[in-house]
Amino acid sequence: MVNNRDEEKFVHDLNVLLTRLTTDMSNNAAHKLKSLHETLLQLHKENVVKINHSVMELVCAKYLILKEYTVRLEQKLSDILTCDLLAIKGYGNLIVEIETGYIPPEHAMDPLTYTYARLASKIIRYSCFSGKFAIGVPPHYILPLPRVLTLPPKKRTPQGIEEIKNLCDWYYQNPPVTEEEIKNARIHEIYVIDVDRTTVQAMDPTTYMKRALHKGVIFTLKEEPITKQAKRRRYLTKGIEKLDRYLI
């Protein structure tokens, strides 16, 4: 149940954003975006979405609409999987998952490891439903992308596939990912979604990782004390020495 104050704030913020987004859109394109805006308002009443996630979805939706995609939000793909944005053009489709950088309280002691596994799981699970798969991220947050999954499937080694599976299995078992799914999973683009400026910058994963490396924020547990911290966590003590090599 959403309280009245939260509801009013959500509606106000989303209305302000919609106004900013539609000032330079044609009537037809603006109508499509307004329809998605209404969808988000209804989903918030049902306590399905939050504002930080919704504003990124709306900015990304405009970007895709202007590229002549038909966009749907919070689209159910299976009994256990719902995607943030499903974009359809002709016979092809694109799935976009939004990553805000949120860390659940239960993973406060292993945020990088958890995020790495979450991203790997998303790429593996969602890409099999799409012709193209992308992750949307705010400009202030650098994704710890699993390097193995940025490589073409033919360049992935059995060891790399096994390592991704073992890491995902630490966190996700309902259901576990398969080695075949890991082998074929792909991430095609990263969308850097700037809500302040209502812009989206698309880049391929290799370019994104080079940019992160240039900024000195690429995820490398081998060189950081985080690995030792993770080993102190009680429920990761068994076999945790194997964790080190799973992360780039």
Tell me the CA distances in angstroms from 7 to 4, 45, 56, 73, 77, one per residue in order: 5, 7, 18, 19, 28
Dihedrals phi, psi of 118, to nearest 5 degrees: -65, -45
Average pLDDT, integer, range 50-71:
98
- Among 81-85, 216-220, 232-236, whose mean pLDDT is lowest? 232-236
Tell me the CA distances in angstroms from 230 to 157, 158, 224, 239, 243, one per residue in order: 26, 25, 11, 12, 9
Q: What is the pTM of this model?
A: 0.86
Mean of all residue pLDDT scores within the chain: 87
Residue 223 is predicted with a pLDDT of 34
Q: Within 13 Å, how many C-alpha atoms sit on residue 199's CB side?
A: 5
> Cα 232 to the chain's mean position, in Å?
28
Sheet holding 82-89, edge to edge: 70-76, 82-89, 92-98, 132-137, 189-194, 199-203
User: What is the distance between the alpha carbons of residues 248 and 244, in angstroms, rounded to a whole number?
Assistant: 9
Domain boundaries, the chain: 72-246
User: What is the distance between the alpha carbons of residues 191 and 199, in angstroms, rounded to a whole number?
Assistant: 10
Q: Is the pLDDT assigned to residue 237 strictly greater than 50?
A: no
Under the banding of pLDDT at 50, 70 and 90, the label for residue 1 is low
- Residue labelled with tokens 């240039």: 214
> Cα 157 to the chain's mean position, in Å?
25
Tell me the CA distances in angstroms from 105 to 42, 102, 111, 177, one per residue in order: 27, 9, 9, 24
Compare 224 and 39 and report the one with higher pLDDT: 39
Average pLDDT, integer, range 194-221:
81
pLDDT in tens, 176-195: 999 999 999 999 999 999 99
Residue 210 is predicted with a pLDDT of 84
User: What is the distance between the alpha carbons of residues 195 and 63, in angstroms, rounded to a whole number?
Assistant: 12
